[in-house]
Structure 1
Amino acid sequence: MPTDSYALQDLRFVSYDAQNAANIFSHLHYLRSARAGSKNYALVDPLHGRPVSLCSVSPLEWSVVGRQLRSQFGVLPERVWDVSRVYSFDLAPANAISFLLAKVRTAVRQSEPTAELLVTAVDPNLGFTGSSYRAANWQQWMAIRARPYLYLDRRYVSPRKLREGYGTANLAEVRAQSGAIVEQSRATLLNSAIYCCRIKGETEVVPAGDQRLLRR
């Protein structure tokens, strides 16, 4: 973990070690997990090489998002990469995430010649506003309906982690297998925004009236 503050221009952009990234995301990211098969990038301090801000980029797995990108924008799902995790330490300088995202766009363009689009989901229920993405010239193209948060022994768990651990995300089945307290949130949640960024060229603005609301 970083211990000192540095100016943004002093940080180095690097391809980051997968195991170290997994340790950080598993312990500090709100999802408490890393996405397997991801490319990881970070801004690291110039003295110790410790990450100040980092993210992972994964092949798109959201079929509902992929179908909409294909039908509305003509982008094949296999040419889309998902910014699946982002984490920034408290001492990161201002604009670190937007600076990192700009560097990641260039890195993906160079390493994945067929890639056309970066995509991510921004959950406003957790206080995220998408400002870092907009600062990096991303645009909101659609939204996706919120689903209840899931909790295993009163700790947040994603449906993906439940499927990995128990072969299902059905709460009754998980409860029967584990004997744990399995719950879901009851509060009304806001929908998540889906932001996109063209790998090459300018990312077009999609008027609010043309943005589709997807069902999971």
Structure 2
Amino acid sequence: MHFRNISESLAKELCRSLHYLGTYREGSMDFGLFMPGDDLPTAYCSVSGIGFDSRRSGLARMLQVEERQIAVVSRSYTSPLAPRNTVSYLLARVRKALRGRPGGYEVMATAVDSNLGFTGASYAAAGWKLVTKRAVPKYRYIDGNFMADRQVFSSFGTLRSDLLRSALGAAYAESSCGLKPRLIFGVMI
């Protein structure tokens, strides 16, 4: 497989069509693994600076680095037809690509949503460590579509349920069942 940067336009299309959130994280660095002769990656990964959710969780404090030193794997996707160990290989290549890059990244981190069946096995296989588990208080839905807290806050300026219900009425809903914690993995670059 061939590793390379991918264009923002391709990354946006991949996120829109293949990633469960359906959105691209602006300002990301985007990487892919390509099979010989393929125009689309077998696996891709977007890496961003620390964001809204990570700031709220105190991730930099837990990892004992400054926020600007954390590169977050914010989106990834791997084809079901990908060879075994594709994800851990992609993560190792991204890690190597970030070494010595402007920006001074020291740590890579990601959040794995165990409520969606993700376990973090590929991160563990790539040498990442489970840093912490973070409670997921609720999922939010607008017009029946899941929206991450970042998206809700960006669109409506609040995460307060009462204000969202008041503004959106029946279009706003929240999960009502108990959720498993989000798994936070990290690795030194």
With normalisation by structure 1, the TM-score equals: 0.79
State how many pairs are aligned.
187
Q: Does 2:121 align with 1:131?
A: yes
Give the equivalent residue in structure 2 for 1:112: 102
Write the mapping of 1:71-110 to structure 2, written as runs, cut at 5 A.
72-110=62-100
- How far residue 94 of structure 1 moved from its aligned partner, in angstroms, is 1.2
Give the equivalent residue in structure 1 for 2:60: 69
Identity of aligned residues (%): 34
Equivalent position SS for 1:41:
strand
Give the equivalent residue in structure 2 for 1:13: 3
Give the equivalent residue in structure 2 for 1:46: 36
Equivalent position SS for 1:111:
coil
- How far residue 168 of structure 1 moved from its aligned partner, in angstroms, is 3.1
What are the superposed Cα offsets for residues 178-215 of structure 1, whole Å, 9 maximum, x if unpaired?
Answer: 5662100011111111100100xxxxxxxxxxxxxxxx
What are the superposed Cα offsets for residues 42-99 of structure 1, whole Å, 9 maximum, x if unpaired?
Answer: 101220331110010001122144x4533x5431221111001111122111111111
Give the equivalent residue in structure 2 for 1:147: 137
Q: Which moved more, 1:18-27 or 1:95-104?
A: 18-27
Is residue 171–residue 183 contact of structure 1 (8 Å, CA) maintained in 2? no
Residue 94 of structure 1 aligns to which amino acid in structure 2? Answer: R
Q: Which moved more, 1:108-117 or 1:119-128?
A: 108-117
- How far residue 135 of structure 1 moved from its aligned partner, in angstroms, is 0.7
* Alpha-carbon distance between aligned partners in 1 of 2:43 and 2:153, rounded to the nearest angstrom: 29
Give the equivalent residue in structure 2 for 1:196: 186
Residue 159 of structure 2 aligns to which amino acid in structure 1? Answer: A
Q: Which moved more, 1:190-199 or 1:160-169?
A: 160-169
Residue 60 of structure 2 aligns to which amino acid in structure 1? Answer: L
What are the superposed Cα offsets for residues 126-166 of structure 1, whole Å, 9 maximum, x if unpaired?
Answer: 10011000110000111111121111111111122223333
Equivalent position SS for 2:96:
helix
* Alpha-carbon distance between aligned partners in 2 of 1:146 and 1:140, rounded to the nearest angstrom: 16
Is residue 68–residue 103 contact of structure 2 (8 Å, CA) maintained in 1? no
What are the superposed Cα offsets for residues 99-123 of structure 1, whole Å, 9 maximum, x if unpaired?
Answer: 1000000011142362110000111
Supply the RMSD in Å over aligned alpha carbons.
Answer: 1.9
Give the equivalent residue in structure 2 for 1:204: none
- How far residue 175 of structure 1 moved from its aligned partner, in angstroms, is 5.0
Give the equivalent residue in structure 1 for 2:24: 34
- How far residue 170 of structure 1 moved from its aligned partner, in angstroms, is 3.7
Q: Which moved more, 1:24-33 or 1:176-185?
A: 176-185
Q: 1:91 to 1:191 in 2, by over 3 A?
A: same
Q: 1:144 to 1:176 in 2, by over 3 A?
A: same
Gaps of at least 5 residues in structure 1 are 1-10, 200-216
* Alpha-carbon distance between aligned partners in 1 of 2:63 and 2:86, rounded to the nearest angstrom: 30
Is residue 69–residue 103 contact of structure 2 (8 Å, CA) maintained in 1? no
Equivalent position SS for 2:155:
helix
With normalisation by structure 2, the TM-score equals: 0.90
* Alpha-carbon distance between aligned partners in 1 of 2:157 and 2:103, rounded to the nearest angstrom: 35
